[in-house]
Chains A and B, each alone.
Chain A
Amino acid sequence: MTLTADVEVRLDEFHEDVHLDVTDGEVVAVLGPNGAGKTTLLRALAGVRPLTGGRIVLDGRVLDDPAQGILVPSAQRPCGLVFQEHLLFPHLDAQANVAFGPRRRGASRAEATSVARDLLDRLGVGDIAHQRPGTLSGGQSQRVALARALAIGPRLLLLDEPMAALDVTQRTAVRQLLRSHVGGSGSSCVLVTHDPLDATALADTLVLIDDGRVVQRGTAPEVARRPASQWVAGMMGVNRLEGHVRGGWFDLGAGLAVPVAGAPEGARCAVLAPRDVSVTPYGAGPGSPVARSAATRTEWSTRVTSVQPTGDRVVLGLEYPTGLTADVPAAGPDGSRWDEGMAVTASVDPADVELFEPAPV
């Protein structure tokens, strides 16, 4: 399975232009905020949203090419589609939902039923084969929806926010399920999500899009180590700092700088894991917090702008540098708790700051 897609869709104000390559067995996650054009991309691939420009080629067969007047209807594409809300046909039981595709694609009633039974069993929901969708739990209906899409033996599986409607316990199970049923067996998968966790857990390659354009693509570690923008860094849960290398220091402005011996001069970016940013309440640190002095240019004073608890730790947003986040233990050094507006001393170990050259825009 090889997909090469240049998806151009114009909808009133919105203009999408995204290039996508998917190779055999590959799982590609399209990651972006709401309204970025993720679902439009998926609908174009599925054939329910015709392109206004570009072309889609699957295994050498042109599926959509407005310039040549080619548009293979959805029903004739080897693409399985799973929506966030599952959208099981409410008037059919689980088994009939799964058998729908094979039946429409020419299988006999007996064949379609046996395909459906087999898939429901494999996905662990054989026992609810004769229940209507209204009676199923979120996890069950997700499995049935996946079985329905897999039942047509798709070359390309298209998943729209596959996890969004599930609770946390079901997510892990469905992630494992997708991992074992997606990819492999020659079929490939494009999933769109706004959740970086899902994307990194399921996908070989990430394609980050915003406002109808590709912002960055690569494997999850690649993207996390070289985020192309502040937004990408935020999605990947890392800090991205912009600055200049001058005379052995990576200068972030306003007196803040990190010693970087031997780095070439010029505009550079740095990634910094939130866990590598230390924060202590003002005055509680070792000695008095002197920011921006030549000797301690990696220690500075700032304020907490946001507090987001994550279990026994907490993610703090810091006022300076803008957008920097620190992942610290939920309880401060002296047992105090973190509050918005709190004056703090932040510091980083130069060894944790990884420099890279920003990609030309």
Chain B
Amino acid sequence: MGLLALPMIGLLARVSWSTLGSDLTSPVAVDALRLSLVCSLWATGLSLVLGLPLAWLLARTEFRGKSVVRAITVLPLVLPPVVGGVALLLAFGRDGILGRPLFDWFGIQFTFSTAGVVLAETFVAMPFLIVTVEAALQVMDVRFEEVAASLGAGRWATFRLVTAPMIRSSLVAGAALTWARALGEFGATITFAGDIQGRTQTLPLAVYLALEGNERVAVALSLLLLVISFAVLVALRGRWLGAVRR
């Protein structure tokens, strides 16, 4: 318990409360905060768009190689983020399998770009959404969907009007976890997208960099991230950690 609590106390003890306001509004902090919010929200949105159909496929359909697909979707959960960054670099970097044709033909470049940050965060965070939603779909009685179909609802209408509302708490929890993970993403982002203030320097990157020069700002930004993480936990307590909603 002490091992877990002490670092938090240490962090709180070092916060310079008098300069907290100015530290958090310094150009580096504001840029990082803005970029972090934009990128993590994009990553969450992208995870919903890509992850929901994938979770549905994994939970509701049988196909060849399903276990492989499931393993790949969960892999980023256990993969060191740096390795994820290297993998992304090899796929979407200027010399990557997909990155080179994208750049040569369309001039699209992910490395050292905000889009790259979103991509890295999505890669690392999307599994949280998939895992949470797939588990909820597994638990839900498919016959609700069968009834909806018999009443005339197509697949999309069934998902929108029956499935999604019924797994709403898991959807919210999954999205919140995904967002929190995206917000804290460091390894894959710095490896793949680099560290450019205002473009790819998110909060965690700014913290790391500020630690070398301006420790006060680093501590202030750390406090901010800690508060956000804690807020997500508290918000999810009833829904995710607590009893299942009826």
Contacts and interface: CB of A to CB of B under 8 A. Distances in A.
Contacts of A91: 165-166, 168
Contacts of A87: 141, 143-144, 147
Interface stretch (A74-82, A261-269, A353-361): A74-82
Nearest to B144: A87
B152 A152 contact: yes
Given A100-B148, A151-B151, 18 more contacts: A43-B146, A47-B150, A48-B146, A48-B150, A74-B149, A74-B150, A75-B150, A75-B153, A77-B150, A83-B147, A89-B165, A89-B166, A91-B166, A100-B153, A100-B161, A101-B151, A101-B152, A104-B153
B157 interface: yes
B108 interface: no
A221 interface: no
Interface string B132-159: 0000000001011011111111100100
A98 to B, nearest CB: 10
13 contacts: A46-B146, A73-B149, A75-B153, A81-B146, A87-B147, A89-B144, A90-B246, A100-B153, A104-B153, A104-B157, A148-B147, A152-B151, A158-B150
A89 B162 CA distance: 7
Nearest to B145: A48
B149 A90 contact: no
Interface string B176-192: 00000000000000000
Given A87-B143, A87-B144, A100-B161, A80 B150 contact: yes
A134 interface: yes
Contacts of A90: 166, 246
Contacts of B166: 89-91
B150 A79 contact: yes
- By size class, the interface of chain B is 10 to 19
Contacts, number: 65
Nearest to A104: B152
A10 interface: no
A48 B144 CA distance: 12
A105 interface: yes
Contacts of B157: 104
Nearest to A43: B146
A83 B143 contact: yes
A89 B150 CA distance: 13
Interface string A135-156: 0000000000000110110000
A75 B141 contact: no
A100 B154 CA distance: 12
Interface in B189-233: none
Contacts of B150: 46-48, 74-75, 77, 79-81, 149, 158
A311 B64 CA distance: 57
A89 B144 CA distance: 7
A47 B154 CA distance: 13
Interface string B104-126: 00000000000000000000000
B235 to A, nearest CB: 21
Nearest to A76: B152
A90 to B, nearest CB: 7
Nearest to A81: B150
Interface in A87-107: 87, 89-91, 100-101, 104-105
Nearest to B245: A90
B152 A75 contact: yes
B144 A75 contact: no
B152 A134 contact: no
A204 to B, nearest CB: 23
A251 to B, nearest CB: 51
Interface in B157-175: 157, 161-162, 165-166, 168
Nearest to A145: B147
A75 B149 contact: yes
A284 B162 CA distance: 66
Which 10 A-B pairs give the minimum distances between C-beta atoms? A101-B151, A104-B152, A74-B149, A81-B150, A105-B152, A91-B165, A48-B146, A104-B153, A75-B152, A74-B150
B144 A134 contact: no
A148 B147 CA distance: 10
A12 to B, nearest CB: 12
Contacts of B148: 89, 100, 104
Given A87-B144, A90-B166, A100-B161, A48 B149 contact: yes
A351 to B, nearest CB: 51
Contacts of B161: 100
B151 A148 contact: yes
A72 to B, nearest CB: 12
A152 B150 CA distance: 9
A76 B150 CA distance: 8
Contacts of A85: 141
Contacts of A83: 143, 147
B152 A81 contact: no
A91 B166 CA distance: 7
A104 B166 CA distance: 18
Interface in B58-80: none
A46 B157 CA distance: 18
Interface string A181-205: 0000000000000000000000000
A100 B150 CA distance: 11
B142 to A, nearest CB: 9
B89 to A, nearest CB: 44
A31 to B, nearest CB: 21
Contact of A104 (B143, B146, B151, B246): B151
A85 B141 CA distance: 11
